[in-house]
Amino acid sequence: MSNVTTATKQGLSLLLAPSLGRGAEDFSVLAANLRMLGYTVLTPEPFGMDVSDNLADATLETLGQHLLDAAPQDGSGLVVIGHAFGNWVARMAAVLSPERVAAVVLLAAARQVIPTDIKPSIDGSFNPALGDSERLQHLQRAYFAPGNDAGAWLHGWHPSMAAGQRAAAARSDRSHWWHAGGVVPILDVQAAEDAIAPASEAMELRTELGARVTNITIENAGHALLPEQPAEVAEAIDAFVRRLESRKNVS
């Protein structure tokens, strides 16, 4: 990894939102790698993790505001990073606080329409009624590239939170958040063997939103991505943020 000092970050903090039904522990290795590069990294638990969080009437706005509320309110800039379902939360955060969000990073970005044939394996992955061996088969099919250890995600699922997150997203108008506010730079990090967001659709967002979207593909990774290639993801984020800072210094 490149060695970047904190002084080059100009107050930017990295704020991370995890995948559907999963918690901040998914970011443990990635966050450690980014901190080694000198970044301030914030990994709050998603709305719905705490028993006091009411998902019954929540919307994607609720989830996005909860994420923003976990960051310092001192005016420093944020790069909001969302993994899978969390990319929707990250985009909403950019809409809710355009003055604070400097950029958005999408990791294995979940599409609005997920391939029908993979949905049973998404649900089966965190169905507690199924045995571990069956769940591992679903995890391998939906989330991991061939040869990668799906057991890394056998635990850490929160089915009731996942249901609430899905319902919250359904209550929000896609046109309100899909474009991430319309102006901020976006890094779209795709996984080469992603069954949920296929590589064949990797340029979809750039085609729609234009040059504000930068694409990169991580090899030997599926939709889980974080336990598969954390070092490569950290390098991609670091390079993107350094380009942002370089453009800011030039201007």
What crossing angle do the helices spanning 60-69 and 86-96 adopt, rounded to 10°? Answer: 80
Identify which of 100, 116, 107, 95 has the alpha carbon closest to the alpha carbon of residue 174: 95
- Give the pLDDT confidence score for residue 4 in this predicted structure: 35
pLDDT at 2: 34
- Distance, in Å, from the CA atom of 223 to the CA atom of 193, rounded to the nearest integer, reads 8
Q: Which residue has the tokens 């989330």?
A: 143
- Each residue's pLDDT, cut to its tens digit, for the chain (251 residues) gives 333 333 345 578 999 999 999 999 999 999 999 999 999 999 999 999 998 999 999 999 999 999 999 998 877 799 999 999 999 999 999 999 999 999 999 999 977 778 899 999 999 999 999 999 999 999 999 999 999 999 999 999 999 999 999 999 999 999 999 999 989 999 999 999 999 998 888 888 999 999 999 999 999 999 999 999 999 999 999 999 999 888 776 55
Other CB atoms closer than 10 Å to residue 99's CB: what's the count? 7
Which residue, 25, 90, 30, 16, is CA-closest to 218?
30
CA distance 209 to 40: 29
34: nearest Cα among 14, 59, 51: 14
Distance CA 87, CA 40 (A): 20
Q: How far apart are CA 63 and CA 58, in angstroms?
A: 7
Asked if 196 contacts 108 with a C-beta cutoff of 8 angstroms, the reply is: yes
pLDDT at 178: 93
Q: Smallest Cα–Cα separation from 90: which of 20, 15, 188, 28? A: 15
**What gap in Å lies between CA 38 and CA 46, rounded to an integer?**
24
Tokens (6 digits) for 114: 């997920």
* Residue 162 in tokens: 């996942």
Cα distances (angstroms) measured from residue 202 to each of 8, 15, 18, 196, 214: 30, 23, 20, 11, 11
68 closest CA partner among 56, 77, 57, 58: 77
Residue closest to 158 by CA, chosen among 27, 58, 26, 62 = 26
The rounded distance, in Å, linking the Cα atoms of 151 and 246 is 40
> Do residues 235 and 2 touch, judged by C-beta distance below 8 A?
yes
